[in-house]
Amino acid sequence: MKTKIHFYTILLAGILFAGCSSQEKTENTDAKEQAQETTTEVNNEAEKDLAESGTELQLMENEKIGKYLTDAEGMALYYFAKDQPNTSNCSGECLENWPAFYSENLAVPEGFNKEDFGTITRADTGEKQTTYKGYPLYYFVKDGASGDVKGQGVKDVWFIVNSETTFAQ
C-alpha cells in the first residue's frame, strides 16, 4: 500500500513539475514575442519618422580638415569647384566617381540653415540632386566607410562641405 502511495505521489509530482515547466516556457516565449513586437514597432516608428523628416544630415569632425557635412550614415558630402550655381558640370565618368547626393527632405545640423539647401534636376540624367547654397552635392566612391574623407582636395576641385564653405563665383 505504501508503495502505491509513493508511486502516485511521485507520478503526481512529475506531472505538476512538467506542467509548471511548460508553462514557464510558454511565458518566456510570450515575453520574447512581446519584446520582438515592441522592437519592431519602435523600428517602424523610427523609419516612419525618418521618412517624414527626410535624411538627417550630421556634422562630423576630422583632425586634419575639421568639421564637415555628412549624410545620416556618416558619408561625407562634397562640392565640385567647377560647378555653377544650380548647375552640375560633373557627368559621365565624373558622375561614376562622384555620385550625386539627393534627399527629398533634409533635417540639417546646428550651424546650418535649412533654406541654404535646395534641389536641381540634372540636365544629363533628369534625376534630382540636392544643393547647398546652389552648389550640387556629391559622394566620393572611394569613401568606403563612415568618417572617410578621401575626396577632400582631389585635383584641387573637390572639397568637403561645412557651415563655413564659400563658393567662388
The predicted model gives 97-125 an average pLDDT of 95
Q: Are residues 15 and 36 in the same domain?
A: yes
Give the pLDDT of residue 40: 44
**Quick check: 53 and 107 in contact, CB under 8 A?**
yes
pLDDT in tens, 138-153: 999 999 999 999 999 9
Q: Are residues 66 and 19 in the same domain?
A: no
Tell me how far apart the alpha carbons of residues 36 and 26 are, in angstroms, rounded to a whole number: 15
* Residue whose cell numbers read 566620393: 140
Q: Are residues 134 and 103 in the same domain?
A: yes
Q: Give the DSSP H/E element, type plus range, for residue 121.
A: strand 117-121
pLDDT in tens, 11-26: 555 665 555 554 444 4
Q: Are residues 42 and 109 in the same domain?
A: no
What Rg do the C-alpha atoms of the chain give, in angstroms?
29
Q: Are residues 149 and 72 in the same domain?
A: yes
Say whether pTM exceeds 0.85: no
Q: Are residues 99 and 112 in the same domain?
A: yes
| No. of helices (H) and no. of strands (E), the chain | 2, 9
Q: Are residues 104 and 39 in the same domain?
A: no
Tell whether 149 is covered by a domain: yes
Q: What angle do CA 52, 134, 114 make, to 5 degrees?
A: 35
Q: Are residues 141 and 69 in the same domain?
A: yes
Q: 59: number of CA atoms within 13 Å, CB side? A: 11
Tell me how far apart the alpha carbons of residues 104 and 52 are, in angstroms, rounded to a whole number: 10
Tell whether 168 is covered by a domain: no
Number of domains into which the chain is organized: 2
Q: Are residues 60 and 43 in the same domain?
A: no
Least confident of 4-8, 34-38, 135-139, 146-150: 34-38
Q: Are residues 13 and 31 in the same domain?
A: yes
The boundaries of the domain holding residue 20 are 1-53
Tell me how far apart the alpha carbons of residues 70 and 77 are, in angstroms, rounded to a whole number: 5
Q: Give the DSSP H/E element, type plus range, for residue 38.
A: helix 2-53
Tell whether 141 is covered by a domain: yes
Q: Are residues 23 and 104 in the same domain?
A: no
